[in-house]
Chain A
Amino acid sequence: DAKTTQPPSMDCAEGRAANLPCNHSTISGNEYVYWYRQIHSQGPQYIIHGLKNNETNEMASLIITEDRKSSTLILPHATLRDTAVYYCIVRVGTSGSARQLTFGSGTQLTVLP
C-alpha cells in the first residue's frame, strides 16, 4: 500500500471548516483513500473513502486531486467533539487482497472554542 504524509497537528476554530491534507504521491490506480479518526482512547471511527471522485457524506467531504497524489478531508463546521487524531490511509480495495489498514501517525486536530 502507498505511504501517506500528514501534518502532525492542526488547530481549527469552532464553527469553521477544518481542512486536513494528505499526500500520497505513490498511490496506485486501484488504491482507495480512506479517512478514519480516533478520539482519545476510543476505537477508530470510519469517516469517508474515495477512489478518484470527490465524495461527501453526513460527516465530511473528501477532495482528491486529479492526479490522485493528494487529498483533503473537509469537516465543514468543526465542533469541539471533532478534536481527534485523523488518519489518512491508502489501500487496495479488491476482493481477496490483503484488507489490512496501515495506520501512520495521523494529524492531531484540535478544535478551539
Chain B
Amino acid sequence: KAGVTQTPRYLIKTRGQQVTLSCSPISGHRSVSWYQQTPGQGLQFLFEYFSETQRNKGNFPGRFSGRQFSNSRSEMNVSTLELGDSALYLCASSPLVVRGALQETQYFGPGTRLLVL
C-alpha cells in the first residue's frame, strides 16, 4: 500500500497570505490528523477528521482550519499567515478498525515544510 502523501512538500508564503495543504491518507484509512512541528514547541496536535467531521481539536487559533472529503482526503488551511506559522505540517492517517478490531495506530506522511517570510 502507498503511504500517506502530502502536497506540496515545500512552500514559501508571505505574512498575511493564506495557504492550503493537502493530505491523502493510506487507502482504507478513515481518520486523518494534522500536527504542527516547530523547533520551539515540538510536535503539536492540530485537529482530527473522521467521516468528514472534525472530531478533536488542539489548542490553535481559528486561523487554522481543515476539512475532510468523502474519499477521506483532507486539507488544512491557514489564513492570515504569521511568521510563527513557519513549521513542518504533518498529516497522519489511521484505519480505526481493521477486520472488526480496533486499530488506532497513526501513520505519518513526510510533511509539508512551510516558510512564512
Contacts and interface: CB of A to CB of B under 8 A. Distances in A.
Q: How large is the interface on A (under 10, 10 to 19, 20 to 34, 35 or more residues)?
A: 20 to 34
B108 to A, nearest CB: 4
Given A42-B111, A101-B45, A102-B45, A49 B4 contact: no
Interface residues of B, number: 28
B80 interface: no
Interface in A5-31: none
B19 to A, nearest CB: 19
Contacts of B48: 99-100
26 contacts: A34-B105, A36-B108, A41-B113, A42-B111, A43-B4, A43-B90, A43-B92, A43-B108, A43-B109, A43-B110, A44-B92, A44-B108, A95-B97, A95-B102, A98-B56, A99-B55, A99-B94, A99-B104, A100-B33, A100-B58, A101-B33, A101-B43, A103-B43, A103-B44, A104-B42, A105-B42
Interface of A: 34, 36, 41-46, 49, 87, 93-95, 98-105
